[in-house]
Structure 1
Amino acid sequence: MNLSDERLAKLNATSRDEIIANSQLAEAEELVLEEAESGLAMIKRALTSYAESNYDVGHIKNVATTLTTIRGGMILLNRSRSAAVLHSCSRFIEESLLKSEQPAAVRHMLENFADAIISLEYYIDSLRQDRNTDDSVLQVAEESLAALGYPVN
């Protein structure tokens, strides 16, 4: 190619800007995934405390908000399937756990819900390793939520 020094400098500057932008985007994606992992870990601790306290809802009052925050991150990353799973999880917390007064039923529901949370955790960990992770990992979460009466739409 017969490029002038000025044109070559402009192309190099454009390439450099693209590399920087891509690097910053990758860093932002990593932060979103780290926050999602932290949020899921907090949710697991909250659910454990909830079960150990004989189902005191004070332990899970913030879980739906945390799920909504994680869902927002998945929407930003264009992960609509995981965002839909998180929405169903949030609905389950708000409509079932926060309003249920039957410990025997709650215990069974928590086991299914824990499967959904663990599936999400595995999915996010897989995304951190490889951004091209297949969403089929979320099938366990979808099945668990459907068993709870909160199918993923």
Structure 2
Amino acid sequence: MAGFWAGRRPLSVQWGTSWDGRRLYVASWQAKPGTLFALDPTTGHILWSNPNPSDGCTTGGAAAFPQCNLSLAAAVTTSPGLVYEGSIDGKMRIYNSSTGGILWQYDTIRQYTGVNGLTASGGSIPGVGGAVVSHGQLYVQSGFTSSWGIPGHVLLCFGL
């Protein structure tokens, strides 16, 4: 695991960062709550940071799961002007790359009927990879089975 310093404390980066040609975007699950950072890649200075919203585990589908936590464990994804990051609270969020403000949020913890007609549940946005943006679509894996994640097993696709 690579690490960087936020204040006086080193924070680990577990699954991956993203760079848009101007800023390096890093999510850390250890910040308590998990926090998304934009860094100047030449100096390492923090340009902005946005902690996981404090109500992430008390709103939406996550409220039913006592093992929910506010970690940002997934790899970060970027496209021009946007940063994509999922949370262990099951919310997928899109941030403004200049300010860190949340532009869009979707609660993935719910029941879905798949294209195959089967029912499946969404859960935590896991730390095994990040969202994929391709050809105007956002692909997100929702569901994680561990002692601190919310179980589920779906691949979601959103039109951008």
Same fold, TM exceeding 0.5? no
Does 1 or 2 have the higher relative contact order (CA < 8 Å, sep 6+)? 1
- Greater fraction helix: 1
- Greater fraction strand: 2
Normalized against structure 2, the TM-score is what?
Answer: 0.27
Normalized against structure 1, the TM-score is what?
Answer: 0.28
